Homo-oligomer: A and B are copies of this chain.
Amino acid sequence: MAVAERRERERIARREAILDAAQRLTAEVGYQALRMDAVADAAELSKGTIYLYFANKEALCAGVASRLIDELLPVLEKNLAKTSSGLDAVQQVLQTYFDFTREHPHHFRFAVSWLSSGERMDDSTEAFQLYRERVGHVLQHAVTAIERGQADGSVRLDVDPLPQALQLWSSMLGVILINLNKESVSQRLPMPVDLDQVVNVHIEAMARALARKERS
């Protein structure tokens, strides 16, 4: 049945075309302002068709998010390869993730709303499964960096790699969240602040907290 195979290829191609359109629009306006009608228009399809390929708006967004986080992993691995110690690698994971969110702020906002969605978001779809897996890979790099540091003597031995990696990840999440919205946050705070500086302060603080010996 060559017909069935062609149909399957066409189906995948159409799905990718929808994702292309959604990704383009998302880069402009973000996930929350993304309109399903606009996606349909941009993909030159009717709205109903979008729902033949994605269960709902969130599943579509997860599809876009999966594509983006795919771009992060090779960059992260390239940067990690250059590091001289485990502690250096820890800092590199944080810095690379930060740089990535600067390039793709909407992706980060989506990740935050996904993580904080509670029961609201139905993430049982295939697109979410994939996204979840990718996030796990990033976290695994942090765990590995800590273990490497404990092996090479740059990271203190009394930290537990997995909880510590989660601490690094979640605290970085907060710092990035604030930095990403620095214009509005600094307006919204009563004191003057330099929120770019805070990112460096944070990465430095994390390094001090993990370092085996007091750093200069």
Given contacts A116-B177, A132-B190, A189-B135, contact A167 B201 (CB under 8 A): yes
Q: In the bound complex, do residue A197 and residue B116 qualify as a contact, i.e. CB atoms below 8 Å apart?
A: no
User: A115 contacts which of B114, B184, B210 (Cβ < 8 Å)?
Assistant: B184
In the docked arrangement, what's the CA distance between A115 and B33, Å? 17
Q: In the bound complex, do residue A164 and residue B115 qualify as a contact, i.e. CB atoms below 8 Å apart?
A: no
Chain A, interface size: which category? Answer: 35 or more
Find residues 101-131 in chain A having any chain B CB closer than 8 Å to their own CB.
109, 112, 114-120, 123, 128
A42 at the interface (CB under 8 A from B): no
Find residues 154-182 in chain A having any chain B CB closer than 8 Å to their own CB.
159-160, 162-164, 166-167, 169-181
In the docked arrangement, what's the CA distance between A131 and B133, Å? 38
A198 at the interface (CB under 8 A from B): yes
Q: Separation in Å of the A202 CB from the closest CB of chain B?
A: 5
Q: In the bound complex, do residue B201 and residue A115 qualify as a contact, i.e. CB atoms below 8 Å apart?
A: no
A73 at the interface (CB under 8 A from B): no
| Complex interface: chain B residues within 8 A of A184 (CB) | 115, 117-119
In the docked arrangement, what's the CA distance between A197 and B164, Å? 9
A208 at the interface (CB under 8 A from B): yes
In the docked arrangement, what's the CA distance between A107 and B109, Å? 19
Q: In the bound complex, do residue A172 and residue B171 qualify as a contact, i.e. CB atoms below 8 Å apart?
A: yes
Q: Separation in Å of the A117 CB from the closest CB of chain B?
A: 7
A69 at the interface (CB under 8 A from B): no
| Complex interface: chain B residues within 8 A of A120 (CB) | 32-33
Q: In the bound complex, do residue B166 and residue A133 qualify as a contact, i.e. CB atoms below 8 Å apart?
A: no
A188 at the interface (CB under 8 A from B): yes
A55 at the interface (CB under 8 A from B): no
What are 24 A-to-B residue pairs whose CB atoms are below 8 Å? A30-B118, A112-B116, A114-B188, A115-B188, A116-B180, A133-B190, A135-B188, A160-B201, A163-B197, A163-B198, A164-B205, A166-B195, A166-B198, A167-B198, A167-B201, A170-B175, A170-B177, A170-B179, A170-B198, A171-B171, A171-B175, A174-B174, A205-B209, A209-B209
